[in-house]
Amino acid sequence: MTPKLFFNKVLAGTATGIIVGLIPNAVLAAILKLFGQNQIALQLTHVVVVFQVATPLLIGALIALQFGLAPLDMAIVAGAAYVGSGVTQFNAVAVNPTTKAAGMYLSAGTGDLINTMITAALAVGLTMLIGTKFGSVKIVLSPIIVGAGAGWVGWLILPYVAKITTWIGNLINSFTTLQPILMSILITCMFAMLIITPISTVAIGMAIQLSGVSAGAAAMGVAVTTVVLVIHSWKTNKSGVTIAVALGAMKLMIPNLFRHPIILLPILTTSVISAIPVALFSVSGTPASAGFGLVGLVGPLASIDAGLNFVMALVVWFAVPIVVGWLSRLVYEKMLHLYDEKVVFAYLGD
């Protein structure tokens, strides 16, 4: 087991786990909102949100699966990853509605995905290191030593790992003071890259409260990556992978980014061109729409709500990224032969 192979297995498990956890809410949330206070719609919304909270568990289990671990070890790695993610935190101020006592464990979002990966990797490493040394008492000792132990380490380092997201958020926030076109280009490019990393674009958009054209540029970055990945995936991957990407599963390509960074070339080229209309036509958004892009049509709908007319929204959000993305593929792959899309854009999560 080489470090490179170990890392690639962690990335592959993470990419699949993120998508399994996020897709139900990403796809159904916008649709369910159309039904207002309908009881079934509200129940389904509750289900997909809770399912999303379990994302760290899914990531941990799928990382363990990549290493061929036994079911017991898989469950332990999943539990450790959940703890290390920080998705569930103790709130001393919140009042328990049942006991009326102060103090509750509250779950929200998906936790810190980078720390989820680190904790899961640590749990896998411990499992491989220990091997069969625990013998017949493994069912007792492994959950304690590996599960609680790795989970504890993950919990300890969580505040420090979370600073990575904070630092990136502050960097993006500094772009908002620049000239509008330059600001739009930088923010669009940054979010276009972030959406294919374990970092949450939604979390960053909310944390630094991007709004107006800044939020529109951020959403455009996510939209551009979606379009470029679909264009390159259409003839490369199975239809299910391409459809998943179109519906919001851009993080399926996390392993591809680390193994083939060249995929950023068409993405960033398309981002630069697509960001210009955002500034010219004041395509705006909200903190909540900044990290979604085309998922659930959140980005386009937010810009229409902010005053962009429907026809211009179609041009800015669809026509420009699709045309530029297709031309980028034509130039970089077909003419210059800088990469082979069937290699660098092939889904690596199997």
Instruction: Please check whether residues 288 and 155 belong to one and the same domain.
Output: no
% of the chain residues with pLDDT over 90: 59
Sorting pLDDT into bands at 50, 70 and 90, what band is 349? low
Residue 64 lies in a domain: yes
Within-domain flag for 193: yes
Give residue 350's pLDDT. 61
Range with the lowest mean pLDDT among 96-105, 218-227, 299-308, 313-322?
A: 96-105
The pLDDT, as a whole number, for residue 289 is: 84
DSSP output for 285-304: B-TTTTTTTTGGGHHHHHHH
Instruction: State the residue range of the domain holding 260.
Output: 176-344
Mean pLDDT value across residues 287-308: 87
Is residue 156 domain-resident? yes
Q: How far is CA 179 from CA 174, 189, 211, in A?
A: 12, 15, 16
Indicate the residue among 163, 184, 199 that finishes a domain.
Answer: 163
Q: How far is CA 292 from CA 6, 62, 147, 260, 346, in A?
A: 31, 25, 33, 24, 23
- pLDDT digit string (tens) for 47-65? 999 998 999 999 999 999 9
**Chain centre to alpha carbon of residue 106:** 21
Rounded average pLDDT over 304-324: 95
Whether residues 24 and 130 fall in one domain: yes
153-203 per-position pLDDT tens digit:
999 999 999 888 788 888 888 888 889 999 999 999 999 999 998 887 877
Upper half-sphere CA count for residue 167 (Cβ side, 13 Å): 6
Q: Does residue 296 have a pLDDT over 90?
A: no
Q: How many CB atoms lie within 10 A of CB 93?
A: 7
Can you give the pLDDT at residue 323? 97
> Does 337 have pLDDT greater than 90?
yes
- Tokens 């989820």 map to which residue? 116
- Whole-prediction pTM: 0.78
- For 224-241, what is the mean pLDDT? 93
What's the domain count of the chain? Answer: 2
Same-domain pairing of 157 and 261 = no
